[in-house]
Structure 1
């Protein structure tokens, strides 16, 4: 069985996706904490395994002479987890091609359309290169949350009666990606989820009670600041 190591940061929503998925799949892994606030992800050691200097990286050591496979994008890591351990606990991709496509479409709304536009590097460039104030950067992030979460909710409801989760009554990779996106929207950018997105609010209510989701919250990570 591959030995897994997660290189991550407590406040990274992309890292949170992997924490949730690994917990749902009941997979053991070790963690290397990368100090994003102090630019450790831009240092020589981390850049050697992730040239894009992005967080997280999942290292999968399959025990051969080539050494670990470093998976440097969170969705690629999520799909590796599902493909390498399909029978562990829950399956995070549905059985039919149509439902898998629905899951992947929802995933892409979060990881391709929403998250990059409110990523730290984007907000940093808005301020440094374009002179955006903190208030303007918060409004930028809030507005993108509203646009993309609305698209997500419409895609969920377009498929017919809504189940407990994003695609029916079974957990999928869409839910794994939705959780930290909602947490950011509510906790960082001030989105009123129940008012703006009642369907997503109901889905999130079902997700947030799961112990795997609770344990993955940024505030419960060993590298999070302690009050």
Structure 2
């Protein structure tokens, strides 16, 4: 029996991707909380399982206690693993190859083009190396969010009005990656979706009504501060 352990942090958008996917697929897993705020992810113990010191890490044990766990250290690789290892659970990739390609393109807009540019380490670097103040960091993150979410929206609407979600009416990996990034854009950087990306605003309204999305929100996690 496969045992999964998710190493994550309540406010990590990349960790949230995994929380949503695991909930949608109804896959049981254990959680190890890594205190990102106090830089636990940069300690020797965590670096031993994830040399990049990033969150999350998904540890996979095919038979409990029988072998060294496999550590999947990138969220998209972990999402793809869940698709392949649990074929009977709710699929997050469409059957049609063209739709699958679109989903993967949308995923890359989020994980390659947007998320790294407003990640904590990027903003930290802007401050430490280039003297950016808080307002400048916020503007940097805001501008990148608007630019890449606009690109995402254009891909979603290229063939006409979108369905309930990013690619038709089926929840996909694109949505799983989009959700926490929109939460960041709105809650941290002040992006007004209805103004900047109205089609995505409607899609997000549909997504945030899902119980799996609500339960995966950072505020609902056991390691979130009680007054958050």
- Return 5+ residue gaps in structure 2 as ranges: none
Q: Which residue is 1:71 aligned to?
A: 72
Distance in 1 (CA, whole Å) between partners of 2:87 and 2:175 is 17
Q: CA deviation at 1:161?
A: 3.4
List per-residue Cα deviations over 1:36-79 (Å, max 9, x = no partner): 01110000110000000000000011128542110000000000
Distance in 1 (CA, whole Å) between partners of 2:159 and 2:88 is 27
Q: Which residue is 1:143 aligned to?
A: 143
Output the TM-score relative to the length of structure 1: 0.98
Q: Any runs of at least 4 consecutive aligned residues in structure 1 with deviations exceeding 3 A, and if so which?
A: none
Distance in 2 (CA, whole Å) between partners of 1:28 and 1:219 is 21
List per-residue Cα deviations over 1:128-186 (Å, max 9, x = no partner): 00000110000000000000000000000013331100000000000000100000000
- Return 5+ residue gaps in structure 1 as ranges: none
Q: 1:70-109 alignment to 2 at 5 Å?
A: 70-88=71-89, 90-109=90-109
Output the TM-score relative to the length of structure 2: 0.97
Distance in 2 (CA, whole Å) between partners of 1:219 and 1:200 is 22
RMSD: 0.9
| Equivalent residues, number | 226
List per-residue Cα deviations over 1:60-104 (Å, max 9, x = no partner): 11128542110000000000011101211x210010211110000
